[in-house]
């Protein structure tokens, strides 16, 4: 069994999970993905962690031989729900079983690392010398949901109502508090005979001066803020609205941008092959074509690529590409470099290991040497 955390000087599984959350926030992952701690005891002590693309049988042997207590596997070895874990299975569940049996924790960042700053797609863009790479797709910012609350208040009461709402939890934006907006206007109403309006008379159409007061409210505090507003508002029926807010998007999948200088497709492909020590590199298009802008999609390029609006002078740099997507690239007048799925993702992992070691003194974080490209040149 894995050792338990005995002292604060030791690094444990939960510390590595927290460090990985800073490197590749799990909120950036695609909703279909399976990321985070997949197996292991958060309190177990970790002295050595290995980082790999794929958790294969050879990697498991290496993990045991090098006495690692945790592995960060980019591809999740548990992807779909499983009903059993068998040591003799032909699937990756057998490797998960072996790790569990040896007390080795497993963590997977996958698409969270693709989307993160300094992740797989930024690494690929850097190898292509893309200037100021921008995301192709975006994801909603991780964090709690918020609402915008708008209430209409008599001018004499607006300060008291606003302060009550702030005290109940409204008005926080980052490091700022008591944030709100006020706009003067005129409200109208016609109360039935059963009403008792604070201003004007029942049964008569009224026009009154009011302030539109609006502020942000955490979704979990809406009921408290509404209650505080009602307690300070003099109206029998205060008029107010609550709007759900989407958090602003942050960088997501893929990267695109201009190359630092135009280059021939064949020359860029050759440079990437040398730099990555790639086994198999393919191109789509004429090797003499001059390219000036790259669309980088580590792993498997799909619909993400075409959201950029491909054009002449574009090169798609990716790990793998379907036949019909390659034809579509050509129809757009663009071209592509296909590096191999594993090869396109591996470069970012050295940075992951370095950042883990730097953020957790005493931890040894290394790349697996048994993790290999499954394809080879004939």
Q: Which of 282, 286, 157, 170 is nearest to 219 (CA)?
A: 170
Question: Do 13-110 and 120-139+252-344 come out as alike in CATH topology?
Answer: yes
Report the CATH number of the 120-139+252-344 domain. 3.40.1390.30
Tokens matching residue 158: 């607006």
Q: Split the chain (378 residues) into runs of 10 and give each run's mean pLDDT.
A: 51 97 92 94 96 97 96 95 85 92 97 94 95 86 82 96 97 95 94 87 91 96 96 94 86 90 96 92 96 94 78 92 93 94 94 96 96 88
Give strand pairing partners of 11.
none
User: What pLDDT score does 137 carry?
Assistant: 85
Report the CATH number of the 13-110 domain. 3.40.1390.30
pTM over 0.85: no
Q: Which residue stretches of the chain are H helix? A: 13-23, 57-65, 93-101, 111-115, 120-127, 158-167, 222-232, 265-276, 303-306, 323-331, 341-345, 347-359
User: What pLDDT score does 279 carry?
Assistant: 84
How many residues belong to the chain? 378
User: What pLDDT score does 3 carry?
Assistant: 43
User: What pLDDT score does 87 carry?
Assistant: 87
The second-level CATH assignment, the architecture, of 146-246 is 2-Layer Sandwich (3.30)
Tokens matching residue 78: 């548990």
- Structural domain spans, the chain: 13-110, 120-139+252-344, 146-246
User: What pLDDT score does 252 carry?
Assistant: 83
Tokens matching residue 253: 């999948």
Over the range 89-113, which residues count as b (16 or more CB within 10 Å of their CB) and which as e? eeebbbbbbbbeeeebbbbbbbbbb
């Amino acid at each position: 069994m894995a050792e338990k955390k005995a002292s604060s000087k030791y690094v444990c599984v939960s510390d590595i999970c927290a460090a990985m959350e800073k490197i590749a926030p799990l909120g950036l992952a695609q909703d279909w993905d399976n990321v985070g701690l997949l197996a292991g005891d958060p309190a177990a002590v970790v002295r050595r962690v290995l980082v790999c693309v794929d958790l294969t049988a050879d990697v498991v042997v290496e993990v045991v031989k090098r006495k690692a207590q945790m592995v960060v596997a980019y591809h999740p070895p548990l992807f779909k729900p499983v009903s059993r874990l068998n040591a003799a299975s032909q699937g990756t569940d057998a490797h998960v079983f072996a790790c569990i049996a040896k007390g080795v924790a497993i963590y997977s960042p996958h698409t969270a690392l693709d989307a993160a700053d300094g992740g797989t797609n930024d690494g690929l863009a850097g190898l292509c010398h893309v200037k100021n790479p921008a995301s192709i797709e975006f994801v909603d910012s991780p964090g709690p949901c918020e609402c915008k609350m708008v209430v209409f208040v008599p001018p004499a009461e607006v300060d008291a109502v606003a302060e009550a709402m702030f005290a109940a939890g409204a008005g926080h934006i980052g490091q700022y508090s008591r944030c709100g907006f006020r706009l003067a206007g005129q409200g109208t109403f016609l109360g039935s005979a059963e009403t008792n309006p604070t201003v004007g008379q029942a049964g008569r159409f009224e026009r009154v001066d009011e302030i539109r007061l609006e502020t942000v409210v955490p979704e979990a505090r809406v009921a408290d803020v509404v209650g505080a507003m009602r307690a300070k508002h003099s109206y029998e029926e205060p008029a107010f609205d609550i709007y759900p807010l989407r958090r602003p998007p942050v960088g997501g999948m893929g990267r695109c941008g201009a190359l630092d200088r135009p280059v021939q497709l064949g020359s860029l492909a050759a440079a990437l092959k040398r730099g990555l020590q790639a086994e198999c590199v393919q191109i789509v298009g004429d090797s003499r074509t001059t390219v000036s802008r790259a669309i980088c999609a580590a792993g498997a390029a799909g619909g993400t690529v075409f959201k950029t609006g491909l054009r002449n002078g574009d090169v798609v740099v990716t790990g793998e590409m379907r036949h019909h997507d390659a034809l579509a690239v050509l129809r757009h007048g663009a071209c592509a470099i296909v590096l191999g799925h594993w090869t396109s993702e591996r470069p970012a992992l050295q940075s992951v290991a370095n950042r883990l070691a730097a953020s957790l003194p005493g931890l040894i974080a290394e790349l697996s040497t048994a993790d290999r490209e499954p394809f080879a040149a004939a």
